[in-house]
Structures are given as structure tokens and as C-alpha cells.
Amino acid sequence: MATHSLAARAQPAPGPRRRPGTSLYFAAGLLVSAVFVLPLAWEVLRSFQPASAITSPPSLKSFSHLGLGNYRQLLTGQDDIVRNVVNSLIVAVATSLLTSVVATLAGYGFGRFRFRGSGAAFAVVLVGFMVPFQAVLTPLFLEMHYLHLLNSLIGLALFYTAFNLPFGVYVMRNTFLQVPQELVDAAKVDGASTMSTLTRVLRAIVMPGIATTFLYAFLFSWTEFLGALTFVTNGSTYTLPVALSNVETNTYGSVNYGYLVAGAVIAMIPCVVVYVALQRYYVRGLVSGAVKG
């Protein structure tokens, strides 16, 4: 059965091999990892430099005055971005929760129920998957203007949810298809309703699928840029990336690079934390194959 073959597939090669050259492998691995992690760590270090040190010719001395100046300015300065960080968090959390709930219900429907039109409904999901959001922003702008969803965090979250749902529904449908039929039957014999079967009996089994859906939706919406740039034109509704791009393109004076680096580091943190906490669910999503670049 599907569950069984997936479990078998997820099994990596048998037990740790005590091969010669293990320490050589480890050293090489650290070197390769450094290529990918050091630049990120370097930027974290840079964010503690005063802006004047960031923009002056480099010297060892410029690292002698590390401090929280950039962050203090970002969070308490004249044009602070606390509001933008909060906006980004609201949008990302709302998108991930809404996507998870709606995709779970739909996955339950597609995976566990027979109904007329289910083929057509699933085709809608698949077509949705094939449409890149980058291409339909113009008509979507006009539509959201008409629906009063421009300059609105709710509007942005709905937009992100819509483009994360096809992947989420696909993942959740596959998750529900792998639930053993005996479990559902047993719940029915016990007189459990549709919803209590879901929330009591199936919850634990489908949790990994939900975590996958949540993770992808969060990582997508937390620093999404083009959509936010298009649908939000009002400073108080800016998400973090849009606020940073305004810092960057500030033509009325010099760009505050300290501000920019510290802001980017703030944008980095939630991604890294959420990913490291949930990374095994990320791989589940990759294995489903329905990933967007």
C-alpha cells in the first residue's frame, strides 16, 4: 500500500557506515557548508557595525565598535519599521493558518469522499497550480481594487493563500489517501461525525502534511516582494521587504546601509528558525514533487 511504500522509501541507506576517511569527509563538509553559511553569518556580524563603519573602506578596526545601533534606529527611530515587521508577521501567520485549514479540509474531501464533480474540482486546483502569480498581477490589481482589498493585509493574505492552496491541497490529498481505511471505518462504527473523525481520529496521522503545508506557506509569504509591491502602496501597510526597498531606493539623500543590513537580518531570522524547527516536513513537500521554484 501507499503508506508502506512511502515508509520504505523514506528509509535511508542502512546504519552509519564506518568508512575510512570519515574525518576527511567531515572537514570537507565543513568547508562546503562554510561557502553557504559564512556569507549569511557575515551579514549578521555586519548588522552590528555602525552605519559609518559599513560604508567606510574596510579595516579590522571597523569591527571594534559593534553594537545594536542599527537595530535601535530601526525599531525606535523616526521612521521605524516595527509596524512593517508586524505587518509581515500578520500576513505570514494569517496566510499559513488559512492555507493549512482550507487545504486540510479540501484534502480530506478529495482523499476520503466520493462526490460528483470531484474530478472537475481537482482540475481547478491543478490549473491553479500552473498559473504563476507573477503573470496575473495586473488583472488581480484591478479585481482587488474593485473588492477593496488593495492596501489591506487581509487582501494580501488572501492573495498569498490562493497561490499556496494548490500545493497545499495536493499535499493534503495525498496525505489523506494514505490514511488506512480501517481507521476511518472504526471511527464511523463508533459513531464519530465527519468533523470529529478529522479532529480526533485523523489529526495525528495528517499532522505532518499540515506541517508541510504550513511551512511552505510561511516561507513564501514572509518575504514575498512583487505581490506586496503591487498591492500595497500605503506606507503604514507596507510589509518588511517593501519598506526595505523604500530605504534602498531613497533618492532624497544617502541610503542608510546599516538600516538596510539590519532590516535584512531581521527578515532572515524567522525563515531560519521556522525552517530549522520543521525541516523534515520540508523534505516531505519536495518528495511530493509539486514544488514551485
Partner 1 sequence: MAGGPRSERGQSHDMTLTARAEHVDSPAGRPVARGSSRHTSRSVREERTGLALVAPAIAIVAVFVLFPLGFCVYISLTNWPLVGPYHFVGLANYRALVHDSTFLQSVTFTLKYTGIVTLPILVIGYLLAVFVRGNRFGATLFRTCIFLPFIVGITTLSFLAEVELQPGFGSVNVLLSKLHLASLQTVWVQNSTLALVAISVLVVWLASGLTMMLLMAGMQGIPDELYESANVDGASWWEKERFVTIPLLRRSIALSLIISVVGSFLAFNQFFIITDGGPGTSTVSVVMEIYETFNTAMRVGGASAMAVVLVVVVGLITFVQFKVLRGGDA
Residue numbers 97-126 binding partner 1 by CB under 8 A: 102-103, 105-106, 108-118, 121, 124-126
- Find how far residue 152's CA is from the centre of its chain: 20
d(CA 169, CA 99): 9
Shortest Cβ distance from residue 119 to partner 1 (Å)?
A: 11
The single residue among 63, 86, 134, 200 that binds partner 1, judged by CB under 8 A, is 134
Contact positions with partner 1 (CB under 8 A) in 24-43: 25-26, 28-30, 32-33, 35-37, 39-40, 42-43
Closest contact distance (angstroms) between CB of 68 and partner 1 is 18
Residue 91 and residue 84 in contact, taking contact as beta carbons nearer than 8 Å: no
CB count, 10 Å around CB of 55? 14
Establish if 70 lies at the interface with partner 1 (CB under 8 A). no
Q: Work out whether 237 is an interface residue with partner 1 (CB under 8 A).
A: no
Q: For residue 224, which amino acid is it? A: E
Is the CB of 190 or the CB of 248 nearer to partner 1?
A: 248
Using CB under 8 A, which of 55, 151, 152, 246 touches partner 1? 55
Residue 107 in contact with residue 173, Cβ under 8 Å? yes
Least distance (Å) from partner 1 to the CB of residue 122? 8
Residue 189 corresponds to which cell in the numbers above? 462504527
- Closest to partner 1 by CB, 66 vs 137, is 137
| Contact partners, residue 221, CB within 8 Å, separation at least 6 | 91, 92, 95, 96, 157, 160, 164
Residue closer to partner 1 by CB (options 67, 132) is 132
CB crowding 164-187: b at 16 or more within 10 Å, else e: bbbbbbbbbbbbbebbeeeebeeb
Helix (H, G, I), strand (E, B) or coil at 5: helix
Does residue 142 interact with partner 1 by CB under 8 A? yes
> Does 63 contact partner 1 by CB under 8 A?
no
Select 27 or 68, whichever has its Cβ closest to partner 1: 27
The answer to whether residues 107 and 176 touch, using CB atoms and an 8 Å cutoff, is yes
Stretch that binds partner 1, among 50-58, 67-75, 78-86, 199-207 (CB under 8 A): 50-58
> Interface mask (CB under 8 A) for partner 1, residues 273-292, using x and -?
--xx--x--xx--xx-xxxx
User: How far, in Å, CA of 263 to CA of 246, rounded?
Assistant: 12
151 near 233, Cβ under 8 Å? yes
61 binds partner 1 (CB under 8 A): no
Site for partner 1 in 152-191 (CB under 8 A): 158-159, 161-163, 165-166, 169, 174, 177-178, 181, 184
If one asks whether residue 50 binds partner 1 (CB under 8 A), the answer comes out as no
